[in-house]
């Protein structure tokens, strides 16, 4: 499908992005060539200059012409805009054709570290995959994705990045009329489990193999020489997902829509639609208005990761072994191995959160003991661990920690066990407290802060709260003067109880 317009009419004579495209070289059935639909009056809200520099882009030119370029009004030289084809399981139901309905890949660049990165406009107009959608995005979800994806990166968690955000000067029609916006996303790639499913669902074995080879070349070249490279691919994706989801749990992140089309094989967090962060600890917590069965609840995420992995495995089966039952056995071993992989990542991270560097038999119980108390005591997830770091430094600030719980006295026995366990560790209390502060953030993108930033921007055109949030979240592990309010949980009236995917 070629929906592009003649190049001469649409391509501006500017080359601020040194494109080096590879996805556009894949067979034509992998995508649809399509240009962004111009917008009336684009205005650059935010441009991520450090990221542009990391990508080797001409930051000055992009800052100057950002409104035109990041709105899709002017397609830079060397771009080969396309919408990627993919399928996916949405809340367990298979949809054979999804694809980029409102995202357009401009192309790829090789960054300063030699890593190939996608540059994509989200909300840039209709594509052949738009179905009944308008191809557009509203300002609120664009600001949310900007804030959360950059915060995730600063927290040290693999995630797609935010290069720019523009408002379009055009309305979008959702439950109400909202300002339109476009988000420029940077990703290691946008290949999803659902991309593999797209070809498998069509019986296109050659497509699956071509995609698998492309992914190995692009993301995991080290597995190329292996005896069973496709099985190694599954294993590597299993490892990345296990590690990623463990890290989500460590900071109280709830993705909200872990459909297979939102599961990147690169191991980056992708799609920040209805995502949210725990305030009070509750493993069953769900924020998304569309997740009525609680399929993607906080503590269900590891199991969903495994379910998604099984869907990837199904698409690769014929590549594992010519013997079908042998192929299934091989796949099952990898899928079964995901559980212990996840558990190891999770426990290692949780132990670091409570200041343990060595291994003892009772460590898991100690971690779980604290989590049960936090659930019982409705303790704020982020603040509790941050205050535990203070308590590790000396016994004096212990009170701030216990006050996180509805019944502070209930935590005393756990604290005694914890201190007894710490006594058998090698670190000094100073070293321990410092290490704990590097894994227990003071600041996360709290739901109510995101909401306040969106409200101010949407209702008053005031982006100062958005800017302030970005600033404080850029250094989440450092206490920052004048920003203590950003570390605080919401008051009951501020609390966000529902999030919406905003499509
Ligand atoms: P998401 O829930 O954002 O992961 O999107 C699921 C699917 O719906 C993807 O194929 C999107 O491209 C498509 N989609 C979401 N919003 C829109 C929209 N406003 N217009 C067209 N397609 C959309
Ligand atoms: Mg998606």
Ligand 1 atom nearest residue 135's Cα: 20
Q: 423-476 pLDDT, tens per residue?
A: 999 999 999 999 999 999 999 999 999 999 999 999 999 999 999 999 999 999
pTM: predicted TM-score of the whole model, two decimal places: 0.96
Distance of CA 438 from the midpoint of ligand 2 (Å): 31
- Give me the percent of the chain exceeding a pLDDT of 70: 97
**pLDDT for the residue 230:** 98
CA atoms within 13 A on the CB side of 388: 33
pLDDT band at 498 (very low <50, low <70, confident <90, very high): confident
Distance of CA 91 from the midpoint of ligand 1 (Å): 14
Q: 140-188 pLDDT, tens per residue?
A: 999 999 999 999 999 999 999 999 999 999 999 999 999 999 999 999 9
Count of residues in the chain: 503
**pLDDT for the residue 2:** 46
Q: Is the pLDDT of residue 73 over 70?
A: yes
Q: 18-46 pLDDT, tens per residue?
A: 999 999 999 999 999 999 999 999 999 99
Strand partners, 121: 104, 184
pLDDT band at 99 (very low <50, low <70, confident <90, very high): very high
Q: What angle do CA 64, 65, 70 make, to 5 degrees?
A: 125
Pairing of strands 43-47, 161-173: antiparallel
Q: Which of 296, 43, 78 is nearest to 170 (CA)?
A: 43
pLDDT band at 503 (very low <50, low <70, confident <90, very high): low
Q: Is the pLDDT of residue 92 over 90?
A: yes
**pLDDT for the residue 377:** 98
Q: Measured between alpha carbons, how far is 495 from 451 in angstroms, rounded to an integer?
A: 10
**Count of C-beta atoms within a 10 Å radius of residue 417:** 15
**CB-ligand 1 contact for 90 (6 Å cutoff):** no
**CB-ligand 1 contact for 194 (6 Å cutoff):** no
Distance of CA 443 from the midpoint of ligand 2 (Å): 26
Pairing of strands 161-173, 177-187: antiparallel
**CB-ligand 1 contact for 89 (6 Å cutoff):** no
**CB-ligand 1 contact for 102 (6 Å cutoff):** yes
Distance of CA 289 from the midpoint of ligand 1 (Å): 16
Q: Catalytic residue, from 100, 261, 271, 279: name it.
A: 261
**pLDDT for the residue 9:** 45
Query: Ligand 1 atom 7: the closest Cα is on which residue?
Result: 98
As a whole number, mean pLDDT of residues 395-403 equals 86
**CB-ligand 1 contact for 134 (6 Å cutoff):** yes
Q: Is the pLDDT of residue 4 over 80?
A: no
Q: Of 382 and 503, which is predicted with more confidence?
A: 382
Q: Would you say 404 and 380 are in contact if contact means Cβ atoms under 8 Å apart?
A: yes
**pLDDT for the residue 14:** 60
Contacts of 348 (CB under 8 A, 6+ apart): none
Q: Which of 311, 308, 274, 269 is nearest to 291 (CA)?
A: 274
261 annotated active-site = yes
When the pLDDT of each residue in the chain is averaged and rounded to a whole number, the result is 95
Q: Would you say 486 and 472 are in contact if contact means Cβ atoms under 8 Å apart?
A: yes
Ligand nearest to the CA of 160: 2
Contacts of 246 (CB under 8 A, 6+ apart): 302, 342, 345, 346, 349
pLDDT band at 502 (very low <50, low <70, confident <90, very high): low
pLDDT band at 1 (very low <50, low <70, confident <90, very high): very low
Q: 216-271 pLDDT, tens per residue?
A: 999 999 999 899 999 999 999 999 999 999 999 999 999 999 999 999 999 999 99
């Amino acid at each position: 499908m070629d929906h592009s317009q003649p190049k001469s009419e649409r391509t501006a004579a500017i080359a601020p992005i040194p494109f080096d495209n590879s996805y556009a070289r894949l067979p034509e059935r992998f995508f649809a060539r399509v240009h962004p639909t111009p917008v009336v009056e684009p205005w650059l809200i935010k441009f991520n200059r450090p990221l542009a520099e990391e990508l080797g882009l001409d930051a000055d030119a992009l800052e100057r012409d950002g409104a035109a370029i990041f709105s899709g009004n002017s397609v830079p030289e060397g771009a080969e805009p396309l919408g990627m084809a993919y399928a996916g399981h949405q809340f367990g139901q298979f949809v054979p054709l999804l694809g980029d309905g409102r995202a357009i890949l401009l192309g790829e660049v090789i960054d300063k570290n030699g890593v190939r990165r996608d540059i994509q406009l989200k909300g840039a107009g209709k594509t052949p995959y738009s179905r009944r959608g308008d191809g557009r995005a509203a300002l609120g979800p664009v600001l949310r994705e900007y804030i959360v994806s950059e915060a995730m990166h600063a927290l040290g968690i693999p995630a797609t990045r935010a290069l720019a955000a523009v408002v379009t000067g055009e309305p979008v029609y959702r439950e109400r009329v909202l300002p339109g916006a476009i988000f420029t996303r940077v990703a290691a790639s946008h290949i999803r489990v659902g991309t593999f499913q797209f070809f498998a669902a069509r019986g296109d074995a050659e497509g699956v193999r071509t995609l698998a080879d492309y992914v190995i070349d692009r993301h995991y070249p080290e597995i190329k020489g292996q005896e069973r490279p496709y099985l190694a691919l599954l294993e590597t994706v299993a490892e990345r997902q296990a590690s990623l989801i463990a890290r989500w749990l460590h900071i109280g992140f709830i993705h909200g829509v872990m459909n297979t089309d939102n599961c990147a094989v690169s191991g980056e967090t992708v799609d920040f639609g209805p995502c949210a962060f725990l305030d009070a600890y509750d493993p069953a917590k769900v924020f998304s208005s569309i997740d009525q069965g609680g399929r993607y609840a906080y503590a269900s995420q590891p199991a969903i990761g495994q379910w998604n992995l099984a869907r990837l495995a199904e698409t690769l089966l014929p590549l594992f072994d010519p013997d079908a039952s042998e192929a299934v056995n091989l796949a099952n071993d990898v899928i079964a191995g995901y559980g212990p992989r996840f558990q190891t990542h999770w426990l290692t991270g949780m132990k670091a959160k409570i200041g343990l560097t060595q291994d003892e038999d009772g460590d898991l119980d100690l971690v779980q003991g604290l989590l049960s108390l936090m659930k019982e005591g409705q303790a704020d997830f982020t603040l509790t661990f941050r205050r535990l770091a203070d308590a590790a430094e000396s016994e004096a600030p212990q009170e701030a920690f216990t006050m996180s719980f509805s019944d502070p006295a209930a935590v005393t026995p756990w604290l005694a066990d914890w201190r007894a366990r710490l006594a058998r560790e090698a670190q000094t209390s100073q070293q321990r407290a410092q290490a704990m502060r590097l894994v227990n953030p003071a600041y996360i993108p709290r739901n109510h802060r995101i909401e306040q930033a969106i409200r101010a921007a949407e209702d008053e055109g005031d982006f100062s709260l958005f800017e302030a949030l970005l600033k404080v979240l850029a250094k989440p592990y450092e206490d920052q003067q004048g920003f203590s309010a950003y570390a605080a949980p919401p008051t009951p009236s501020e609390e966000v109880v529902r999030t919406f995917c905003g499509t």
